[in-house]
Amino acid sequence: MRIEAIDKLQHYLQTLAFCLMVSTIEQAFNPRALYGPSVVYSILIGTTIWAVVDLGRHLLPSARETGWPDGFAGIALVAVGIVAGFFVGSAVGDVLCRAWNLYPAGQRHDPEDHLRTGMMITLLAGIVGSYWFYSRNRSAYLLRKMGEAQKHAHEARLKLLETQLEPHMLFNTLANLRALIGVDPPRAQHMLDHMIAYLRATLDASRNTTHPLQAEFDRLRDYLELMAIRMGPRLAYTLDLPPELASVRVPTLLLQPLVENSIQHGLEPKVEGGRIAVRAARESDRLVLTVDDTGVGRASGASNGSGFGLSQVRERLAALHAGDAALDFRAADDGAHARIALPIA
């Protein structure tokens, strides 16, 4: 049995606030009643109910989605808490009110009136308070499940993205490999080595949601080597990864769509080709990843960065970092710039 102290303290403070609200409402409906004793009784009764119900529920088998006992056990626990709260809280309240002289001289405490009014208020307040905590736990569980479902959905879309990105590159690479085998076997072997390394890295990435930034850069290096063999002198690239950032974990397949976008929409349409630069840097507590190219830029018509691959990167960042990460894409006349900023885990 594990009880979170912070959660219990929060629940108890909420219970105290609820007790004060009940006392205030009682005072509003019955101005002749004394506010001091009302507060004492309300807090003592509420505290007893909280202790029996909110702590006692951990001693019983509970539903995972609410943390509360199911069926009759849950109803019985609330009933026991209300009865215990009334009698224990009232008894202790009587003692304290007499000891603290909270009743003015000459004013008698009417036990019968107290029993009738107090029991009704305790019953209503106990049921309302217990149901509020029950609903709160259930809502928190449903929100967690919804978040998990959204995460799984985004990961499924990532797998779909991989299946859409890979065939285009693989078919082009195999076609180039077939052509090279007959005319330049050493170059074909070099290309095949990088292709094997790239596919192995892709397979490893498909089994995880995150991996070290070094693995991401290694995968990009194999991919860019394959593209360099295919495009020849039309493609040059640099990869800049500071050693202190190599172990930082990032989502798999994070930079691949950006690099593919630079090649397909920036360098391939340009007769003389160009250069791609991928860099990682730390800015305060954030990791900044940039992909720059010297391609056709704005002339490609993709100046707003709304392509499929870029949209998927934005969606993944939003899902994994809840708005604390972003992708910025800008295209100019002399190339394009993509920048990812995300918190360092």
Q: Which pLDDT tens digits describe the chain residue by residue (345 residues)?
A: 455 788 888 889 988 998 899 888 888 887 877 888 889 999 999 999 999 998 888 888 877 767 778 778 888 999 999 999 989 998 999 899 888 888 776 555 555 555 566 677 778 887 887 788 788 878 888 888 887 787 777 667 666 655 555 566 677 777 878 888 888 888 888 888 888 888 787 777 667 778 999 999 998 998 898 888 888 899 999 999 999 999 999 988 899 889 988 998 899 999 999 999 999 999 999 999 999 999 998 776 654 555 767 887 888 888 788 789 999 999 988 899 999 999 997
Give backbone dihedrals phi and psi of 100, rounded to 5 degrees, phi first.
-95, 5
Residue 174's closest CA among 229, 232, 235?
Answer: 229
Domains in the chain and their CATH numbers? 5-146 (no CATH), 184-343 (3.30.565.10)
Q: What is the pLDDT of residue 300?
A: 66
Give backbone dihedrals phi and psi of 288, rounded to 5 degrees, phi first.
-115, 125
Location of structure tokens 């077939």: 178
Q: What is the pLDDT of residue 339?
A: 96
Q: What is the pLDDT of residue 169?
A: 67
Q: What is the pLDDT of residue 195?
A: 84
- List Cα–Cα distances, 294 to 11, 291, 299, 303, 322, in angstroms: 58, 11, 12, 14, 32
- Amino acid (1-letter code) at residue 120: M
Q: What is the pLDDT of residue 111?
A: 55
Cβ 276 vs Cβ 335: under 8 Å: no
Q: What is the pLDDT of residue 218?
A: 92
Over residues 327-340, the pLDDT tens digits come to 999 998 889 999 99
DSSP class of residue 76 equals H
Q: What is the pLDDT of residue 1?
A: 44
Over residues 182-200, the pLDDT tens digits come to 888 888 888 888 888 887 8
Tell me the whole-structure pTM to 2 decimals.
0.56
Q: What is the pLDDT of residue 249?
A: 94
Dist. CA 71–CA 170, nearest whole Å: 58
Cβ 193 vs Cβ 200: under 8 Å: no
Dist. CA 278–CA 235, nearest whole Å: 14
Q: Is 278 helix (H, G, I), strand (E, B) or coil?
A: strand
Q: What is the pLDDT of residue 3?
A: 58
Beta bridge partners of 276: 237, 293
Tokens of 247: 């172990």
